Structure 1
């Protein structure tokens, strides 16, 4: 009986963790590899990500099968696993995309003024989902980002500010 309960508990936890991953457009953050991306999409190498030094690929938006997508990118870390998905849309899609995201993820911050920059941030397990529409732009950006990637960007930007400050001090 104990073995049966233990097995059922293990299966439950295993099935829960399978649903915990953040997956968008058939790609799972922290798990999908570059090889798997290329099997799903006709992705093309576009360069190296300055924050992670991993590879970045463009994804043909017609393969995503989502209305209003203009550009799509997938970025990987040096371990060759997916850490960032970015899709650009017509800004007019902001409201509809935000409604879809709010039904799937936990809203952490939202600002939608009548005029001005709009954004909505969501959390899901190991990731942040951000929807951003700058004022006077015709583009809204949807990003699925691992928490690790967020930390790497913050570290990179902090180091960049420190170097700039040190360089300024040297000149004075």
Structure 2
């Protein structure tokens, strides 16, 4: 009996930890490697991300199986694990994508979504931030899945950049 309870508890914890990871399009943030990406998609190396010095791969959108996708990218960190998924859609898909995301993730911020103007919706899930953005006068909506570590690194770099710019302005005045 103790063995059965122990086994059930182990299975429960294992299934709970599997749910905790953020997975989109068969790719798990912080876990999927470049090798695994290439097994799932015919991804092509397109460059290196200047922020985290990780490789950027282009994913053929016809392999994603989602309507309206135009471009898709997977960005890896220096440990060769997935840090960022970016998919561009037709802007007309914003509302449908937002509804789908709201059923799966926790909404953290959604500005009033106007008929005209910038549209934003931000979600969170365990180790990630999910952003859906459609800039005004653009024909695209951008869906991004980003690890919390990537977000922190970006914020740190941007903060340092602002400090340098202020210091530079002070010197000029």
Q: String of CA shifts for 1:17-71, please: whole Å, max 9, x gaps.
A: 1122111111000000011111111111121112211111111111112111111
Partner of 2:12: 12
Q: String of CA shifts for 1:121-147, please: whole Å, max 9, x gaps.
A: 111111111110111111000001111
Partner Cα separation in structure 2 for residue 95 and residue 85 of structure 1:
20
- Give the aligned length: 172
Q: Secondary structure at the match of 2:50?
A: coil
Partner of 1:23: 23
Partner of 2:152: 151
Partner Cα separation in structure 2 for residue 79 and residue 140 of structure 1:
29
Q: Normalized against structure 2, the TM-score is what?
A: 0.94
1:106-125 correspondence runs (5 A)? 106-111=106-111, 112-125=113-126
Partner of 1:160: 161
Q: Secondary structure at the match of 2:169?
A: helix
Partner Cα separation in structure 1 for residue 168 and residue 57 of structure 2:
34
RMSD: 1.3
Partner of 1:50: 50
Partner Cα separation in structure 2 for residue 80 and residue 171 of structure 1:
42
1:94-113 correspondence runs (5 A)? 94-111=94-111, 112-113=113-114
Long gaps (5+) in structure 2: none
Long gaps (5+) in structure 1: none
Q: Secondary structure at the match of 1:51?
A: coil
Partner Cα separation in structure 1 for residue 39 and residue 46 of structure 2:
17
Q: Secondary structure at the match of 2:89?
A: strand
